[in-house]
A and B are shown apart, each in its own frame.
Chain A
Amino acid sequence: GQNIDQPTEMTATEGAIVQINCTYQTSGFNGLFWYQQHAGEAPTFLSYNVLDGLEEKGRFSSFLSRSKGYSYLLLKELQMKDSASYLCAAKHASGGSYIPTFGRGTSLIVHP
């Protein structure tokens, strides 16, 4: 089976940096996504890693280590609007296709 673990909740201060960790155990692993989801809304794509290393995109960076089954999302210069749930998802082979399996999400609360 597939197993994705991430912390349930994190809090941080506006302007600070926060790192959200994700560990995964999947068969046929083919890449790691991070999505942002505000309450009651659709998940929106943040980043995708398929090779080991760091991918930077503005205030958001994502890291992957395939050998360790580990990823993190780094958010810099936190803003109040960054308060949301952050979903880690591992893409893996399933039947004749590739499917992203999501973790339960990390609820990030940014306070002034």
Chain B
Amino acid sequence: DSGVTQTPKHLITATGQRVTLRCSPRSGDLSVYWYQQSLDQGLQFLIQYYNGEERAKGNILERFSAQQFPDLHSELNLSSLELGDSALYFCASSVDGSSYGYTFGSGTRLTVV
């Protein structure tokens, strides 16, 4: 157990729907990073939050949004889902935005049918 908790582990939903993925960072970590991993793209950085504020943005689609709450857990919202959004979504956490240790959760496997 890495200490980073992601729920749910698996999610199957239809095109056009909206889902929410949840991440609880490791105790003491203030930063949360979201990544998307598909077979042909590798790990793609989506967005980072630090202590409730957005810090960095990657190739995140406008249909996707995220937030980090006062208790430091984070949610990634995916809307108007398309078949191509099927992927593994990982959350990682670190103590602060510049420390070298990034701990990954076990991921949420999203399947859009």
Contact = CB atoms under 8 A, between A and B. Distances in A.
A42 B90 contact: yes
A58 interface: no
A95 B90 contact: no
A40 B104 CA distance: 13
Interface string B33-67: 10100000111010010100001111000000000
A87 B44 CA distance: 12
Given A97-B48, A99-B33, A101-B45, A31 B105 contact: no
Interface residues of B, number: 28
Given A42-B90, A50-B100, A99 B45 contact: yes
A43 B43 contact: yes
A97 B55 contact: yes
Main secondary structure on B side of the interface with A = strand
B2 A87 contact: no
B42 A95 contact: no
B15 interface: no
Interface string A14-53: 0000000000000000110100000011111100101000
Interface of B: 2, 4, 31, 33, 35, 41-43, 45, 48, 50, 55-58, 88, 90, 97-98, 100-107, 109
Interface of A: 30-31, 33, 40-45, 48, 50, 87, 89, 91, 94-105
